[in-house]
Amino acid sequence: MQTNPDETLVVTNAEEIRKAVSWLMEADGLLITAGAGMGVDSGLPDFRGNHGFWRAYPGLEHLGFSFEEMANPQRFEDEPELAWGFYGHRLQLYRDTVPHDGFRILRKWAGRMARGSFVFTSNVDGQFQ
């Protein structure tokens, strides 16, 4: 009897999920590693995607500055109001964004573990806080 590849995939995924759940239930601590993509599901732009901060920062597109040109200490010397506005806008964007449920789920899992959790991330959006 031949197995449908999609059915095999479902069975394999189910087994892998059961194994991961077992490991989480036995763990006494959780190390969370994540990049900037973790905040994308909350509605934040990523850094290197087609419409991310590194490609087309919407607040400066009309001025012709790239993200790299703005995220440079020299900008504070040359145009401090623009530089502070750039970082202030990003900070406000981060503060106004509600983290998606994945963050709540991770916190809940870690809260059940004797040693809690540690987050190792390149995120600058504060969503893990």
List, for residues 28-71, the tens digit of each pLDDT value: 999 999 887 788 888 887 776 666 666 656 667 778 777 778 88
Averaged pLDDT for residues 104-129: 89
Q: So where are the chain's domains?
A: 5-35+46-116
* Cα-Cα-Cα-Cα dihedral sign, residues 73, 45, 61, 95: negative
Q: Which pLDDT score, from 0 to 100, does residue 120 have?
A: 92
The more confidently predicted of residues 32 and 10 is 32
H helix count then E strand count, the chain:
5, 2
Reported pTM: 0.69
For residue 109, what are the contacts with CB-CB under 8 A and spacing of at least 6? 24, 30, 117
Q: Model confidence at 1, in pLDDT bands (50, 70, 90)?
A: very low
